[in-house]
Amino acid sequence: METLDLTSVARADLALFLDIDGTLIEHQSHPTGAKPDSELLDLLQGAHRQLGGALALVTGRSIEMVDAMFEPLELPVAGIYGLEHRLRPGEPATYAAEPPDLAAVADALHQEFHTVEGIYFERKGPVLAVHTRAAPAAFASVKQAAEAALSRLSEGYRIVAGNAGLEFVPIDALKSAAIHRFLGIAPFAGRRPVFFGDDISDESGFEFVNAHGGISVRVAPKGTTAASFVVNTVAEVRRLLHAIAYPKSPTSPR
């Protein structure tokens, strides 16, 4: 696979889309443990400026959680796999509520697994995440219980198993749709999309970007990927982000 060099593409021609966990920030055993450092905030601010605002975070996290993490920085965001949006800084965000049937499933699964140390339930409106990174031995049992519970939800739900847990996700919650929505508005419109991600939920984004002449990058894939480029670490993502944010500086982030 060829080496990725974003410096060869004019910044005015790029629209940059970034996953957060495992891409910009190392995975943590608990989602609330992931915090951007000052270096990352500086890189994002610099890249956003260099790209004329054509940079957005595309994440499974809610916008409320993203804003709390990245304060005081405010960026365009697609939260909960595109079910929430803030299309431009300063604009109001759209938020998504938790439907009653998913709330009932969340309550039942929590009751079943609340005594298992290391399992964390993250209720994100219409998405329920069950994190097992700190309890890997429990993943199979959680997956079995989740699949049994799926029948109690509307037909519009699916289970997405990722690197460290699983999520109940509406079938129309896709990062590809989120990227497509951004590309329909300024300053993203007419630019070449570039998307960085690290998990199964990012694959729809890779496929969309590839089909639209863009650049797709997966971080440390475990298995096959539709991404056209692979990088091995979060540090490599930050070096590429540095090249966009500070094109005249040879210094790479540590």
Give me the active site residues, please.
Answer: 19
Location of structure tokens 């790479």 = 252
Burial class (CB in 10 A: 0-12, 13-18, 19+), 41: middle
* Cα distance between residue 34 and residue 101, in whole Å: 29
> What separation, in Å, do the N-terminal and C-terminal C-alpha atoms of the chain show?
25
Which residues is 166 bridged to in the sheet?
130, 161
- What Cα–Cα distance (Å) separates residue 214 from each residue in 66, 225, 240? 25, 15, 16
Phi, psi of 226 (to 5 degrees): -85, -10
